[in-house]
Amino acid sequence: MSKTLKYIGKFLTVFAIVFALSCEDDDLSNSTVTVSSVVSDNFYPGDQVTMQGSNFEAVLFVFLGNDQIPFQLDGDNLTFTLPSSAAIGDETVTLVMPDGYIVTRNIGVVARPFPIITAISPSAAAPGEEVKITGTSLDNLQSVTVGEVEASVVSSTATELIITVPSGLAENLPTSINVVTTGGEASPSSTFYVGQNLIVNGQLELGDGDEFTNWGKWNGGDGMTATTADGEAYSGRALRAVGVGGDAWRTQFVSDPVPTQVGVEYTLFMLIKAQPGTPGDGGNVRFSTNPDALYSGNYDITTEWQQIEWVFTANADQTRAVLDLGVIANAVYFVDNITMVATGLSGPQPTEILLNGGFEEGDGDEFTNWSKFNGADLLTATTEADEVRSGDRALRAVGFGGDAWRTQLASDAVPTEDGVDYTASLWIKAAPGPGNGGVIRMSTTGNGDAQYQGDVTVTTEWQKVEWIFTANSTQTGIVLDLGATLDAVYFVDDVSLLAPPED
């Protein structure tokens, strides 16, 4: 009863004003107001409504239901904005003119569509990298957050968002993504990690025909093809694999080796589904690694996209991800977004502070940010594939003989904190020949006294040499002392100097 009286009171107030105004302007009272059309039949709360007609200059007030709302005139157009609290359903718009003359028009107010996320790709991305979110009703966007930190939106449509992963998030951990629109909020059903996907071309976008760059078909190659068909690719391009049958390894898709740390935990996961009606009702698959194979358990596969995940501890410094898909004869699988994350290295990480540690920058036999202290003619660049560990370029060094410092390459000094521990490392191997590899060491240069690592014996296989030292200066460079063994030939790559993680 009180609500009805409130509405009557509103109208009585309006009509009192109308009566007073009608006494002052008889010309307007003779105008016939018509509404010839409304731009749309249905509107969302917050939308602008445009009515087209004639004699709108006579309109004094506009009501939506029993609530007065502001309006604007532009010739034969009358516009107003629906309140965000507008009730869902049929609403009456009332135009009020002098002398109690009114015109009404019904409009439909509908709820804004709820956003739905159907895919997110890639499944892991480092801060600053882009992520594509696909779905429906993603327009009318209000925000996108990654782990509660707002992300920059690169582009936005009703069916696709591209965002940039923000900085300041803990890396190598699963993180939520949340999309908020005026219709609601949504998160993907698959897991997303902030951090680097160690597998190159894990999204399978690169490659010609039925080949996939950085991947090998070790067994059952004829049954592994590329697909971009709707319903078969999770995002863009995917693998279609047919099981040979009998053993899991008989259909085997294998990544290129990626750097791993022995004893560190990694998480390998992918999106996969089976084709309905194929043998085995999806059957089962497994993960494994190469070399020194490790094996996951079996995963039962359904005809809906699912993200299967395996946590393993690396037992080699180079690891291939292996998908064993062959156990069920003629089972058909679709695979996408294959991802490996170093989850054992989550949280604050050491910071690389050495410049050009991979020797990629420089002209001829010179190396940017490095100086040849001794034996300059013995220090050259190499681009031979079996002499470079990563990238396109490495250091080739020949031992002068007699003293370690007689073949000596030194990095530029970088800021360090006196009394703090730092970790220097390099990858090295020797060519077969004098000294059977011999010995090398690292030392320091800078504005403090030189420090020296103990001798390290080098082999003809790539090995990582690591040295932890306590800085005694505010500027420190790393020196490679390679001269002790006469005519020994070394290949050096990926030199590093790590500062401790920030608290």
CATH number at residue 265: 2.60.120.260
The model's pTM: 0.59
Last residue of a domain, one of 160, 194, 228: 194
With respect to residue 206, please indicate whether it lies within any of the assigned structural domains.
Answer: no
How far is it, in rounded angstroms, from Cα 379 to Cα 395?
7
With respect to residue 199, please indicate whether it lies within any of the assigned structural domains.
Answer: no
CA distance readout (Å), 330 to 241, 273, 325, 452: 9, 14, 10, 61
Last residue of a domain, one of 344, 363, 389: 344
The stretch 493-497 carries a mean pLDDT of 95
The stretch 4-11 carries a mean pLDDT of 39
Q: 487 and 377 share a domain?
A: yes
Q: 24 and 88 share a domain?
A: yes
Q: What is the CATH number of the domain that holds 7?
A: 2.60.40.10
With respect to residue 200, please indicate whether it lies within any of the assigned structural domains.
Answer: no
Q: 182 and 57 share a domain?
A: no
For residue 10, name the pLDDT band (cuts at 50, 70, 90).
very low
With respect to residue 388, please indicate whether it lies within any of the assigned structural domains.
Answer: yes
- Give pLDDT tens digits for 139-174: 889 999 999 899 999 999 999 999 999 998 988 999
What is the Rg, in whole angstroms, of the alpha carbon atoms belonging to the chain? 35
With respect to residue 162, please indicate whether it lies within any of the assigned structural domains.
Answer: yes
With respect to residue 166, please indicate whether it lies within any of the assigned structural domains.
Answer: yes
How far is it, in rounded angstroms, from Cα 398 to Cα 216?
36
Per-residue HEC secondary structure of 224-237 comes to EEEECCCCCCCCCC
Q: 329 and 408 share a domain?
A: no
CA distance readout (Å), 282 to 104, 178, 254, 392: 60, 31, 21, 43
Q: 231 and 337 share a domain?
A: yes
Q: 121 and 103 share a domain?
A: no
How far is it, in rounded angstroms, from Cα 267 to Cα 307?
12
- Give pLDDT tens digits for 430-475: 999 887 889 999 999 999 999 999 999 999 999 999 999 999 999 9
Last residue of a domain, one of 79, 109, 139: 109
For residue 503, name the pLDDT band (cuts at 50, 70, 90).
low
Dihedral angle, C-alpha 382, 386, 388, 393, nearest 10 °: 40
Q: 410 and 333 share a domain?
A: no
How far is it, in rounded angstroms, from Cα 288 to Cα 283?
17
What's the total number of domains in the chain? 4
Q: How far apart are the first and last CA of the chain?
A: 64
Given a contact cutoff of 8 angstroms between Cβ atoms, the answer to whether 132 and 120 are in contact is: yes
Host domain of residue 53: 2-109
Q: 255 and 330 share a domain?
A: yes
Check whether 7 has a pLDDT greater than 80: no
Instruction: Calculate the average pLDDT of the chain.
Output: 91
Reduced to 3 states, what is the DSSP secondary structure of residue 284? strand
Check whether 490 has a pLDDT greater than 70: yes
- Give pLDDT tens digits for 196-230: 999 999 999 999 999 999 999 999 999 999 999 99
Residue written as token pair 């490495």: 394
Q: 482 and 361 share a domain?
A: yes
